[in-house]
Structure 1
Amino acid sequence: MDSQVLNEARSRIADDVRIDIIGKTQHTDNDRARLEISRSFVSDTITAPSREMYAYAINASLGDDVYHEPTTAALEAHVARLTGKEAGLFLPSGAMSNQIALRTHLKQPPYSVLCDHRSHIYKYEAGGAAFHSGAATIATIPSNRHHLTLKDVKEHVVIGSDVHFAPTEVIALENTLNGTIFPQDEILAISGFAQSQGMKMHLDGARIWHVAAETATPLKDLCEPFDSVSLCFSKGLGAPVGSCLVGSREFIQKARWLRKLFGGGMRQTGILSASAAYALSFNFPRLPEVHALARKLEAGLRGIGVEITSEAETCMVFFDPSRLGLDFSEISESAASLENPIKVYGSRLVVHIQTTPEAVDDLLSLIKKLADEKAAAGFVPPSKPETNGVPKDVYVRAGVKPGKS
Structure 2
Amino acid sequence: MLDFRSDTVTKPCNRMRKLMAEAPVGDDVYQDDPSVNDLEAWAADRHGFEAALFTASGTQANLLAILSHCERGDEYLCGQQAHNYKYEAGGAAVLGSVQPQPIENDKNGTLPFDKLAAAIKPEDLHFARTKLLSLENTIGGKVLPLEYLAKARQFVDQHNLLLHLDGARAYNAAVELRVDITEISKHFDSMTICLSKGLGAPVGSLLLGDTAFIARARRLRKMVGGGMRQAGILAVAGKMALTENVDRLAEDHSNARYLSEQLGAIPGFNTFIYPVQTNLVYADVADHIDIKAIANQLKEEGILFSPAHKCMRLVTHKDISREDIDTFLQRVESLVG
For the aligned pair, the TM-score class normalised by the smaller chain equals over 0.9
Q: 1:228 is matched by which residue type in structure 2?
A: S
8 A Cα contact 2:108 2:142, kept in partner: no
**2-side partners of 1:311 and 1:96: how far apart?**
30
How far apart are residue 143 of structure 1 and its match? 3.7
Q: 1:166 is matched by which residue type in structure 2?
A: A
Partner of 2:103: 140
Q: TM-score, normalised by structure 1?
A: 0.78
1:247 lines up with 2:205 in the alignment: no
Rg (Cα) greater in structure: 1
How far apart are residue 370 of structure 1 and its match? 3.5
How far apart are residue 217 of structure 1 and its match? 1.4
Q: 1:70 is matched by which residue type in structure 2?
A: P
Deviates more, 1:93-102 or 1:259-268: 259-268
Partner residue of 2:141 out of 168, 176, 179: 179
Partner of 1:150: 113
Partner of 1:364: 329
8 A Cα contact 1:57 1:275, kept in partner: yes
**2-side partners of 1:129 and 1:327: how far apart?**
39
Matched ranges for 1:32-181 at <5 A: 36=1, 39-67=2-30, 68-107=32-71, 109-144=72-107, 146-155=109-118, 157-181=119-143
Q: 2:232 is matched by which residue type in structure 1?
A: G
C-alpha change, 1:186 and 1:152, in structure 2 (3 Å) is: farther
Deviations 1:172-226 (A, max 9, x none): 1111112111112112212211112111111110111111112121111101111
Partner of 1:14: none
C-alpha change, 1:152 and 1:363, in structure 2 (3 Å) is: farther
**2-side partners of 1:237 and 1:164: how far apart?**
45
Deviations 1:51-88 (A, max 9, x none): 21111222221221112211111111111112111110
Matched ranges for 1:309-320 at <5 A: 309-320=273-284
- Aligned to 1:241, what secondary structure does the other structure show? coil
**2-side partners of 1:57 and 1:117: how far apart?**
38
Partner residue of 1:233 out of 190, 195, 219: 195
How far apart are residue 327 of structure 1 and its match? 4.2
Partner residue of 1:345 out of 306, 309, 321: 306
1:259 lines up with 2:224 in the alignment: no
| Structure 1: tracts of 5 or more residues without a match | 1-35, 374-405
Q: Percent identity?
A: 36
**2-side partners of 1:225 and 1:186: how far apart?**
10
8 A Cα contact 1:56 1:274, kept in partner: yes
Partner of 1:333: 296
Q: CA RMSD in A?
A: 1.6
Partner of 2:240: 278
How far apart are residue 352 of structure 1 and its match? 0.6
8 A Cα contact 1:158 1:166, kept in partner: no
Q: TM-score, normalised by structure 2?
A: 0.93
C-alpha change, 1:186 and 1:266, in structure 2 (3 Å) is: same
- Aligned to 2:84, what secondary structure does the other structure show? helix
Deviations 1:65-123 (A, max 9, x none): 1122111111111111121111101111111110011111013x422111111111111
Q: Which has the higher contact order (CA 8 A, sep 6+)?
A: 2
| Structure 2: tracts of 5 or more residues without a match | none
C-alpha change, 1:138 and 1:56, in structure 2 (3 Å) is: same
- Aligned to 1:66, what secondary structure does the other structure show? helix
Partner residue of 1:293 out of 230, 234, 255: 255
More strand by share: 2
- Aligned to 2:265, what secondary structure does the other structure show? helix
How far apart are residue 125 of structure 1 and its match? 1.1
**1-side partners of 2:26 and 2:334: how far apart?**
55
**2-side partners of 1:186 and 1:244: how far apart?**
24
**2-side partners of 1:281 and 1:228: how far apart?**
21
How far apart are residue 165 of structure 1 and its match? 2.8
8 A Cα contact 1:153 1:190, kept in partner: no
**2-side partners of 1:327 and 1:173: how far apart?**
36
Deviations 1:291-322 (A, max 9, x none): 11111101102222421242221110010121
How far apart are residue 145 of structure 1 and its match? 5.7
**2-side partners of 1:282 and 1:245: how far apart?**
20
**1-side partners of 2:278 and 2:112: how far apart?**
20
Partner residue of 1:204 out of 166, 170, 177: 166
